[in-house]
Structure 1
């Protein structure tokens, strides 16, 4: 009898723990969620993440706090999240640079498998930008200048998406530039309009305000945008390939699927909100909401391409 009572008590306790665990998981989120942006404030990653955070926190019912943790071309902040507790309360702003390029071109304490992709929010076309009073009035002028003398170009790290893509463009066009790396695209633009560097590769959220304020000019972009009429594309000059950045949210690998599902459900809802769509349009970002197996498969394919490209460079 005592044995039966003991077994019953053990089963009851185990059931209570299981139910308690289920209840705790079902209540996610119970406290503020931190989203680490591994780049400086004011850049495309920062701005797109803040729009998302402001919108989804209203759906989730808790603060979603964006924290800039810069350093190492995005490696410092990304590594911090890779080591974070796998409970869904520490997330990372993810993009082409820190997820697919840097782990292949540099030695990092993380790789693509260190994270669970949650959601892609936006994409942004790469552009070559100069100051309003620059002698380079067209991309042809810029290419000719870079072929004949040293031209400086701002980016945000030797293995960042901006630099890697800019190198591909330069190689196809037959010119070279001297890179000046900053903490983010926004910082590069400050150097451009301040006359400290000749040009920058940048994305609309970073260069858009300067162009609209008539402080800078976009010479060429990955694709045409109504917000920047008359700007030609790389394809117009015979450059092959697509050059863009994207912004998403990832969690450390091992986060419960329920957490991913709740974040996706909240995102799906806010991405239909006209105010959210207008906010993204206002900063020059293209809404590109994706999640799930197909998106992850596409990223893995790109990761493999970058791995092959890095292997060629290292030979």
Structure 2
């Protein structure tokens, strides 16, 4: 019995000594028996969440006019360069009607996931916001602005076989006495404002005829159903070069390097200046991270030298602006349209 008791005492003593060694620190304080904390910080909720691989499927760009017009062609020219930057297919989808507002409304009402964008156009957007007759519940706040792309000056042209006019001065003198129909794509479109500006300030009798898109309006003018072509240089340049029409004047301060022999309206004595301004926007609410990805991709695509050359060959001018600068320009355009309300009968 004594041997067993002595042996058990040794075992118990050894265990107590071992526990004491394991539970003591250098300073003699008692330590928790929990496992030591890892030196690595736990991942944040954002780090644990799966990364957004946007974009990972095709993106649609809505053009609010029919195929063949300057807005459509410039969008299709830009699309391959955006594809290169984003690594996904860019589909250009035409949504004509309502003077551009069928497409512009669809852009504003799209799901704000970054996969539906569209061409934002001035003066169409500002006019649509200001027009009291439209009673729209859409404003600049309805859009996520991405980038500005193109400035495209307006021109005045006639059919090549029209012998009534030889220059812009002769045309204006004629239009003071006789009504002449002109091409237009919407109430308050840039070409419409050119005609109204002439009527107000120079006493002409231009009567704008509205069409769904530029291609339809020019077909009507070529067929003799409309007297005068008023539209963007990019849309009419090739017809001018092919001898189908004759551009008489450009609504800018300086002559175009593409048509150095064609005078500006200003130097011909008519202070009429107008251009189509085109950019990219989407519905309000696109995630800031996705919007940043889109803006950077469009910036690189718009500044691509090859793309710039193609746009210039069309007769338009590339003018990149980031989202904030472009938004500021649109706000300024809204104020300009408000000041032109009397031209539109408001």
Q: Do both share a fold (TM > 0.5)? A: yes
Q: Which protein is richer in helix relative to its size?
A: 1
Q: 1:132 to 1:121 in 2, by over 3 A?
A: same
- The question of 1:120 aligning with 2:151 is answered no
- Superimposed CA distance per residue, residues 81-114 of structure 1 (whole angstroms, 9 cap, x where no aligned partner): 1111011111110111332112212333422221
Per-residue displacement from partner, 1:163-202 (whole Å, max 9, x unpaired)?
1233123322221212211112232222222222111211
Corresponding residue number in structure 2 for 1:278: 309
Closer/same/farther in 2, CA of residues 206 and 90 from structure 1, 3 Å limit: same
Distance 1:233 1:203 in 2: 14
1:79 matched to 2:108? The reply is: no
2:129 pairs with 103, 119, 122, which one? 103
Describe how 1:116-155 pairs up with structure 2 within 5 A.
Answer: 116-134=144-162, 135-155=164-184
Distance 2:343 2:224 in 1: 35
TM-score by length of 2: 0.81
What secondary structure does 2:266 align onto? helix
Structure 2 unaligned residues grouped into runs of 5+: 1-41
Match of 2:49 among 19, 28, 41: 19
CA contact (8 A) 1:91 1:252 kept: yes
Q: Give the SS at the match of 2:308.
A: helix
Q: Which of 63, 67, 72 does residue 46 from structure 1 map onto?
A: 72
The 1:279/1:165 distance shift into structure 2, 3 A limit, reads same
Shift of 1:314: 5.4
> What's the CA shift for 1:203?
0.6
Deviates more, 1:63-72 or 1:241-250: 241-250
Q: In the TM superposition, what whole-angstrom CA distance separates every residue of 1:38-71 from its partner, at most 9, and x where no partner exists?
A: 1111111101111111211111111010000011
The answer to whether residue 55 in structure 2 is matched with residue 29 in structure 1 is yes
Q: Distance in 2 between matches of 1:56 and 1:154?
A: 32
Give the stretch that moved more between structures: 36-45 or 169-178.
Answer: 169-178
The correspondence of residues 226-241 of structure 1 with structure 2, limited to 5 A, is: 226-240=257-271
Question: Please, what is the CA RMSD of the aligned residues?
Answer: 2.2
Q: Which residue of 1 aligns with 2:33?
A: none
Q: Between Structure 1 and Structure 2, how many residues are aligned?
A: 300
Structure-1 separation of matches of 2:267 and 2:287:
46
Q: Report the TM-score, using the length of structure 1 for normalisation.
A: 0.88
- Classify the secondary structure of the residue corresponding to 1:258: helix
**Contiguous gaps of at least 5 residues in structure 1:** 1-11
Q: Is the 8 A contact 1:132 1:193 kept in 2?
A: no
Shift of 1:275: 1.8
